[in-house]
Amino acid sequence: MTAITAAALAAETPLQTKKRLRKVAAATIFGSMLEWYDFYLYATMAAIVFSKIFFDNSDPKTASLLAFSTFAIGFIARPFGGILFGYLGDRFGRKQVLVVTFCMMGVCTTLIGLIPSYASIGIWAPIVLVAVRIIQGLGAGAELSGAAVTSYEHAAQGKRGSQGAWPALGLNLGLLLSSLTVYLLTINGNEFLLNGGWRIPFICSIALVGVGLWVRNSIPETPEFERNKEQNKEAHKPQVSPLKALFKNDLKGLAVVFFVAIGYNALSYIFKTFSLAYLTQFKGVDVHVTSLSVTIASLIAIVAVPCFGWLCDKWSSKMVLMLGGVFSLVFAYPFLALLNTGEPLMIYVAIGIGTGILAPMMFAPQGSFLSRQFPTETRSSGFGTGREIGTAVAGGLAPLGALSLVAASATNSTDGVVIILAIASVLVVVFALCDQGRKHSAFKN
């Protein structure tokens, strides 16, 4: 079954509906899991290994900077992927895009583990790495929006909050898998990684790709997309470019998605990216401790995400998102105070609350909240464009800006980081209040 017509959907038995939703859940969770498995894995290896493997290490500082720049390149590519594949999702269907983007991400993750070192092929090593990273970034830029929109449009009435949270669950499963992998690989220090052990988790990701592709090929197209296509065909409505319609009719929804994405991602990346770099560079905390903190936070989040999804159905995704912003504002100063102790237990508490509870509290509602800002015909384009541009801005600038403020302080003070967290929290709350969803959805969640 590749499509669900209105008649077929109405004729579905409860067992068939359950089977369809189970396939959709697996498909969306697998994609988000692979995306974030790669995210944390790449970020960690860029910090520890890549400067020594893929670059001329005669100048270690320059090599380290170049290694981190390849991580940033993925963020630069993401908005282009979000725009391109968002458009294709609205034009040709959600399912096809999910399959293509998953292939792009998965194959590139595996290829990174197979790239020869600088010692073997010289300057071609970083060139190939950058090329693979760009393609991977394009796929990742469309992954979450495609998965979220698919979950949202397949969901039953009153369940769009909990089912829209499926990509958030996949995110934290990927974070758990990658952080646990790094923890195990560094249990006796970093020597094993540097001697080639870093390649193992990249190459082994091909197993995830195989299972994920099989699952994604088995899901049907979303009922809303098929219904919208049927209605347009019956009315002989001419096909309009989704991007043209988006910028003509849905600018308010696009603004809401863009600014919520900036606020949430600034908070999220400071909680889980700035914190790791800060602890390593300014507090001398071992990678073994930081990777374990992310593992613990991911375990907490795997429990938290379904709970917050349930609350989205009970209250509304808007309410849960706003509460996440408010609690993040309250936690901003305590978070940094806990990190500043440099004590493992306090670090586990700080990252456990920030990444394990507060970030999921804002991410779980996004599948339903961001999707409902747009009508069916521009939903994929609007979600992908607004969120990925916002993610690129916040994901790249927030942790970098926070680290720069710390480095510029004579005492390495984190007071400036508190201000960034506060501004990001306010953005989430204010633009959640600007919800455009009632125009496009009959469901409150």
C-beta of residue 186 within 8 angstroms of C-beta of residue 288: yes
Kindly report the CATH number assigned to the domain that includes residue 142. Answer: 1.20.1250.20
C-beta of residue 364 within 8 angstroms of C-beta of residue 308: yes
398 domain residue, yes or no: yes
Give the 3-state secondary structure of residue 216.
Answer: helix
Residues of the chain with pLDDT under 70: 1-11, 438-445
Instruction: Report the alpha-carbon distance of residue 412 to residue 418 in Å, rounded.
Output: 13
445 domain residue, yes or no: no
pLDDT tens-digit map of 55-113: 998 888 788 778 878 877 888 899 999 999 999 999 999 999 999 998 999 899 999 99
pLDDT given for residue 188 in this prediction: 83
**Measuring CA to CA, how many Å separate 55 from each of 41, 58, 63, 95, 396?**
19, 9, 6, 39, 22
Write the CB contacts of 146 (distance below 8 Å, at least 6 apart in sequence): 31, 85, 86, 89, 94, 97, 98, 101, 380, 384
pLDDT tens-digit map of 357-374: 999 999 999 999 999 999
C-alpha distance across the termini of the chain, in Å: 28
C-beta of residue 378 within 8 angstroms of C-beta of residue 252: no
303 domain residue, yes or no: yes
- CA diameter of the chain: 69
pLDDT given for residue 390 in this prediction: 94
pLDDT given for residue 91 in this prediction: 93
pLDDT given for residue 4 in this prediction: 57
pLDDT given for residue 440 in this prediction: 57
Specify the number of domains making up the chain. Answer: 1
10 domain residue, yes or no: no
435 domain residue, yes or no: yes
2 domain residue, yes or no: no
193 domain residue, yes or no: yes
C-beta of residue 4 within 8 angstroms of C-beta of residue 93: no
Query: In terms of residue numbers, what domain contains 86?
Result: 16-439
pLDDT given for residue 1 in this prediction: 43
pLDDT given for residue 442 in this prediction: 46
pLDDT given for residue 204 in this prediction: 92
444 domain residue, yes or no: no
